[in-house]
Amino acid sequence: MMNKMVLRLVGWLVSAMVVVAGEKGTSGLYAFYNGAPRGDLVDEVLALKEAGYAGISQLYASETGGKLAQRVALYEQAGLKVLSVYLPATTEPVKEEVVRPLANRGALIELTVQKKIDEDLISSIRKTAAMAEKLQIKVALYPHAGFEVATMPQAMALIEKVRHPNLGVMFNLCHFLKSEKVEDLEGVLEAAGDRLFAVSICGADHDGKDWGSLIQTLDKGSFPQERLFKQLDKMAFEGPVSLQCYALKGDRRENLKKSMGAWRKLWRE
């Protein structure tokens, strides 16, 4: 099964080599799994390759283990990368076998904190960070609206309690706009400093209240993306940037293409 998928992938890449080589290289934008075309895994890889993405990020727990190893192999055949998995923090540390296929690849564990923070949870996150460090995988807290850790300051407070150098934070534009004040943007990023491990973006209305207005394709929304990138540039941020696609309406491939067009325009400017 795997050999057939690889052969199919390689065949497509050879036939498309002229087109791909003629395109301007990407500036490293990853697509969240929630925005990738569903169905055949090879089709998923090719859709992201054609659209110009660096790879995929935020894979769900159901896509880890053996499935993760298969996905990593196919993505690497296409010259793309599997960046991260998306898991909840519990009182049980993340097991090594769940994320081992990402070892030594500059990958991330994106960790949400949904329940009350106590010493058991703090200890579990510390153990997860230590395990991941051995595999050269970073761990980034993922502030999520409505969860126990919903804001950047809450994430930074937890990082201080855990006290492990391999634990940082991921800035997520839609959740920031949902849970925090837009005027605090530069301040929360500055406060994160070198613990800012990753960023997720999307088109968004700066005064949006629901996910329909806070998560759009990157070519839409009233929030000035240039403001975010100016601050990241000021901080000399060099971490990965991913595209949030949760609950976007319309064709997934077209959504990816629209957002990539906007990303390339932002990058040029």
Q: Is 13 exposed, middle or buried (0-12, 13-18, 19+ CB in 10 A)?
A: middle
Residues whose CB is less than 8 angstroms from the CB of residue 33 and which lie 6 or more positions away in sequence, other chains included = 56, 57, 58, 59, 60, 63, 86
Question: Of 27, 73, 72, whose CA–CA distance to 54 is shortest?
Answer: 27
Looking at residue 210, its amino acid is D
pLDDT by residue for the chain (269 residues), tens only, comes to 666 555 465 555 534 433 333 333 335 999 999 999 998 999 999 999 999 999 999 999 999 989 999 999 999 999 999 999 999 999 999 999 999 999 999 999 999 999 999 999 999 999 999 999 999 999 999 999 999 999 999 999 999 999 999 999 999 999 999 999 999 999 999 999 999 999 999 999 999 999 999 999 999 999 999 999 999 999 999 999 999 999 999 999 999 999 999 999 998 88
Pairwise CA distance, residues 88 & 72, whole Å: 21
Is the domain covering 28-268 a CATH 3.40.50.970 domain? Answer: no
Pairwise CA distance, residues 86 & 32, whole Å: 10
Instruction: Identify how many contiguous H helices and E strands the chain contains and give both numbers.
Output: 12, 9
- pTM attached to this predicted model: 0.92
SS3 29: strand
SS3 251: coil
